[in-house]
Amino acid sequence: MPPSTMDFHGNLGDEIVGTLRQLGLDPAGEHPLQFYFYFPAEPAARALAARLAADGFTCDVDRSAAGGRWLCLAQRAMPADAAALTALGKRFLQLTSELGGAFDGWDRDTAVANEPPSKTLLRHAYQLYQRGAYLRAAELLKKAVDAGGELAPSAATMLGLACFNLAEYEASVAAFKMAAAFNAGDNPSAFAALSGMGASLAKLGRFDEAVKVYQRSIAAKPDFAETHLNLTLAYAELGRTTDVLKTLRTAIALDMRMKDRARQAIELQGLRGNAEFDALVGKG
């Protein structure tokens, strides 16, 4: 049975009860529920943990796997009584408002028989990621990476993507670097990890580093036109016009769609009027 996950949209009781019934579970039974709270600083996260501990919650406080925030993960086994959970949800919102944080949602971990924990974590995280719940996905992906095994490179790559979508670019660089390093780079996720690392470095304005990473990515998969275009944009930010034109020519030769992408790229607008550039992308 897959683990259930849910974002909080107002009526916590109805959401949890409805999800459990969809999974074929009896709401009246004891369910190991987890609630995610995020704060900009550690003291507020620990203050919430202290308040919830009085209500029987076990709380873990740590830095978010995505960086930049502190997570208070509150856990308790309880029956899914709709009225009680709705009241609890309102209390969560009140407490997080007082402490300057946010209630990000809930889930119910459900182990799958004969399935490695890392696979369960990765599948659970993928469900969250697909819904845009990147913060909670990142927590599970970090656990999957720490569990090791053959799925660790995939988990690290998805962790990098989750961090990227949260605009936590330093954290995404670290995750992608980890993914690319597994088995000395000999893993199926290495190319995607290098591409993601290059994009993250570019977002941080570290274009010299981005160029080197994109070059490694191209060495791993030389026929992927989009990486050549991304390298082109990094060269443009560095003012390396000769390299821009050479790399852009390769990108377009591999995929004509790169011509339209280049024509629209903000980073390349300064080359308008350059005869060679205009000949490559046209004047559309």
pLDDT tens-digit profile, the chain (284 residues):
333 344 455 688 898 998 888 878 899 989 999 999 999 999 999 999 999 999 999 999 999 999 889 999 999 999 999 999 999 999 999 999 999 999 998 987 665 556 788 888 888 899 889 888 899 999 999 999 998 888 999 999 999 999 999 999 999 999 999 999 886 666 677 889 999 999 999 999 999 999 999 999 999 899 999 999 999 999 999 999 999 999 999 999 999 999 999 999 999 999 999 999 999 998 76
Longest dimension (CA), the chain: 73
pLDDT of residue 190: 86
Please give the Cα distance from 267 to 67 (Å, whole number): 28
Domains in the chain, start-ordered, CATH in brackets? 4-108 (3.30.70.970)
Nearest to 75 by CA among 52, 45, 50: 52
pLDDT of residue 187: 65
Q: Give tens-digit pLDDT for 190-249.
A: 889 999 999 999 999 999 999 999 999 999 899 999 999 999 999 999 999 999 999 999
pLDDT of residue 2: 35
CA distances from 166 to 135, 136, 139, 189 (A): 8, 11, 13, 21
Ramachandran quadrant class, 194 (left: phi over 0; alpha: psi -120 to 50; beta: rest): alpha
- Radius of gyration from C-alpha coordinates of the chain: 23
Nearest to 136 by CA among 23, 4, 42: 4
User: Considering the entire predicted model, what is its pTM?
Assistant: 0.82
- The phi and psi torsions of 170 (rounded to 5 degrees) equal -65, -45
pLDDT of residue 149: 86
Q: Is the separation of the CB atoms in 228 and 234 below 8 Å?
A: no
Please give the Cα distance from 27 to 64 (Å, whole number): 30
Beta strands in 86-239 (DSSP E): 102-108
pLDDT of residue 109: 65
Q: Is the separation of the CB atoms in 144 and 122 below 8 Å?
A: yes
Nearest to 205 by CA among 243, 173, 174, 251: 173
pLDDT of residue 1: 31
pLDDT of residue 4: 38
CA distances from 284 to 87, 260, 264 (A): 58, 9, 10
**Spacing of C-alpha 74 from chain mean position:** 21
Question: Which tokens sit at 78?
Answer: 């309880």
